[in-house]
């Protein structure tokens, strides 16, 4: 804490999670001093946010957009910066709390910098844990900094564990809506279009995570995220399809009791919990009327419909840099689907083939958990997945 205000930064401020975070901050602006806000191509929105919250610095990831950002902030006294170096510099500015809401492996390094400078890291960027869980958690420990989960399922588990002993946990169940194609006949999935994959039945999120929800790659990443964050045996982690998206996770204990976290599908709950932790404060989210909702359904996910879940289990068993390879190959496969180069079901095939090809390289997979080695594995995952796509699968 710095005086009465808390210094905060938001990495990925212009995205879905970033906007929801600023929505909460904006309801009590005098409680916060905004240090850095970062974004990508949406310069107009980034400048608008920086002005509204009087940020110290606004950073776009794209160097070519610096002049535009400078012009948009002219006369405000707010610094404008661009590119990876600027992002890194912004992440080194000390804060009490930072939101990690960049999408993809690009979110890892700013998060590490925040932790190195002793800031509390609210982690929406699950890819950080998938690529480099041991590195991220060790960095937090070494600098006496804290990582707080923001992914709704992980926030739910975290809340379910308050006052509990992790050794008494028998199982952790994370739920999945099943995404856009939950009820589609299997033989039609190969022809699913980008538009169809980009609309989620329950959550309003960025496009990439929405498509990952339809393919269940999002839940695959979350399985690994659960293992890395809570340090539990993968055999204890389960996925249930829950179409209503109201029960976010369930923690099962050794006495047979299960604690379910129930709440509206609104990320401001999990963001607000991480923002105010260890307190609970009132949040502007819907209060559920369970009598009107009537039913909560659960079913086991199909491995045929969702090969991503099987791949995540294989990645957890292999360990090491497999998570970084898996995530990188998934990012390239997703790029391919968005660009129309490959079909919806090809994404799983590309990732599986990339993992197969690289798993033989034990030097790569079982390298020590350093940032350089994670970067190398990420790069190999990307190159290999792209080769597979270019060769026509």
Positions in the binding site for ligand NAD (CB under 6 A): 12-18, 39-40, 61, 101-104, 106-107, 124-127, 151, 203, 205-206, 208-209, 267
Write down the least CB distance from residue 50 to ligand NAD, Å.
13
Q: What is the dihedral of CA 226, 16, 46, 375, to 10 degrees?
A: 30
Side by side, the strands of the sheet bearing 147-149 are 79-82, 57-60, 32-39, 6-11, 97-100, 120-123, 147-149
Write down the least CB distance from residue 175 to ligand NAD, Å.
13
Which residue's CB atom is positioned nearest to Mg ion?
A: 151
With CB under 5 to 8 Å by kind, the binding choice for 126 among ligand NAD, Mg ion, none is ligand NAD
The angle subtended at Cα 253 by Cα 247 and Cα 259, nearest 5°, is: 25
CB neighbours (10 Å) of residue 270?
A: 29
Write down the least CB distance from residue 256 to ligand NAD, Å.
30
With CB under 5 to 8 Å by kind, the binding choice for 12 among Mg ion, ligand NAD, none is ligand NAD
The gap between the terminal CA atoms of the chain, to the nearest Å, is: 52
With CB under 5 to 8 Å by kind, the binding choice for 343 among Mg ion, ligand NAD, none is none
Beta pairing, strands 169-176 & 237-241: parallel
**Alpha-carbon gap, residue 114 to 112, rounded angstroms:** 5
What are 130's two structure tokens?
Answer: 């998938």
With CB under 5 to 8 Å by kind, the binding choice for 65 among ligand NAD, Mg ion, none is none
At residue 128, φ and ψ (nearest 5 deg) are: -55, -45
Q: DSSP letter at 2? A: B
Write down the least CB distance from residue 372 to Mg ion, Å.
29
Write down the least CB distance from residue 388 to ligand NAD, Å.
22
With CB under 5 to 8 Å by kind, the binding choice for 131 among Mg ion, ligand NAD, none is none
Give the residue among 175, 293, 179, 294 at the shortest CA–CA distance from 241: 175
Give the residue among 142, 136, 104 at the shortest CA–CA distance from 121: 136
Q: How far is CA 46 from CA 49, 61, 218, in A?
A: 5, 11, 26
Measured from the CB atom, is 109 or 353 closer to ligand NAD?
109
**Alpha-carbon gap, residue 369 to 183, rounded angstroms:** 40
Write down the least CB distance from residue 225 to Mg ion, Å.
8
Which residue's CB atom is positioned nearest to ligand NAD?
A: 15
**Alpha-carbon gap, residue 123 to 147, rounded angstroms:** 7
Measured from the CB atom, is 315 or 365 closer to ligand NAD?
315
CA 88, 135, 365, 367 torsion-angle sign = positive
According to the binding rule CB under 5 A, does residue 33 interact with Mg ion?
no
**Alpha-carbon gap, residue 319 to 95, rounded angstroms:** 32
Size of the site for Mg ion (CB under 5 A): 3
With CB under 5 to 8 Å by kind, the binding choice for 309 among ligand NAD, Mg ion, none is none
Measured from the CB atom, is 98 or 124 closer to Mg ion?
124
According to the binding rule CB under 5 A, does residue 151 interact with Mg ion?
yes
Footprint on residues 152-171 left by Mg ion (CB under 5 A): 152-153
According to the binding rule CB under 5 A, does residue 225 interact with Mg ion?
no
Write down the least CB distance from residue 1 to ligand NAD, Å.
26
Write down the least CB distance from residue 337 to ligand NAD, Å.
15
């Amino acid at each position: 804490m710095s005086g009465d205000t808390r210094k905060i930064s938001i990495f990925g401020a212009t995205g879905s999670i970033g906007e929801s975070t600023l929505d909460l901050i904006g309801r009590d602006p005098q409680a916060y001093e905004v240090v850095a806000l970062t974004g990508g191509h949406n310069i107009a929105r980034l400048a608008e946010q920086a002005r509204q919250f009087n940020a110290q610095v606004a950073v776009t990831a794209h160097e070519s957009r610096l002049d535009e950002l400078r012009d948009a902030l002219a006369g405000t006294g707010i610094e404008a910066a661009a590119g990876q170096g600027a992002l890194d510099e912004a992440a080194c500015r000390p804060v009490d709390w930072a939101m990690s809401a960049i999408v993809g492996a690009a979110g890892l390094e700013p998060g590490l910098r925040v932790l190195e400078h002793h800031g509390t890291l609210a982690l929406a960027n699950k890819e950080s844990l998938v690529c480099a869980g041991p590195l991220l958690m060790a960095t937090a420990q070494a600098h006496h900094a804290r990582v707080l989960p923001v992914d709704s399922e992980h926030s739910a588990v975290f809340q379910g564990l308050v006052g509990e002993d992790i050794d008494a946990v028998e199982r952790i169940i994370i739920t999945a809506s099943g995404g856009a194609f939950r009820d589609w006949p299997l033989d039609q999935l190969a022809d699913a279009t980008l538009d169809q994959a980009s609309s989620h039945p329950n959550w309003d999120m960025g496009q990439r995570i929405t498509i990952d929800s339809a393919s269940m790659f999002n839940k695959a990443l979350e399985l690994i995220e659960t293992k890395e964050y809570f340090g539990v045996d993968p055999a204890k982690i389960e996925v249930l399809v829950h179409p209503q998206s109201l029960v976010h996770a369930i923690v099962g204990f050794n006495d047979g009791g299960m604690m379910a976290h129930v709440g509206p599908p609104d990320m401001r709950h999990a963001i607000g919990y991480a923002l105010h932790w260890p307190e609970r404060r009132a949040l502007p989210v819907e209060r559920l009327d369970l009598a009107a909702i009537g039913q909560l359904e659960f079913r086991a996910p199909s491995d045929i419909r969702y090969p991503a879940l099987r791949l995540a289990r294989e990645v957890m068993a292999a360990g090491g840099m497999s998570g970084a390879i898996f995530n990188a190959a998934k990012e390239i496969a997703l790029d391919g689907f968005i660009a129309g180069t490959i079909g919806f079901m090809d994404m799983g095939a590309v990732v599986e083939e990339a993992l197969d090809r690289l798993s033989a390289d034990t030097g790569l997979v079982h390298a020590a958990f350093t940032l350089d080695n994670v970067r190398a594995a990420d790069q190999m995952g990307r190159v290999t997945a792209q080769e597979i796509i270019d060769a026509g699968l």
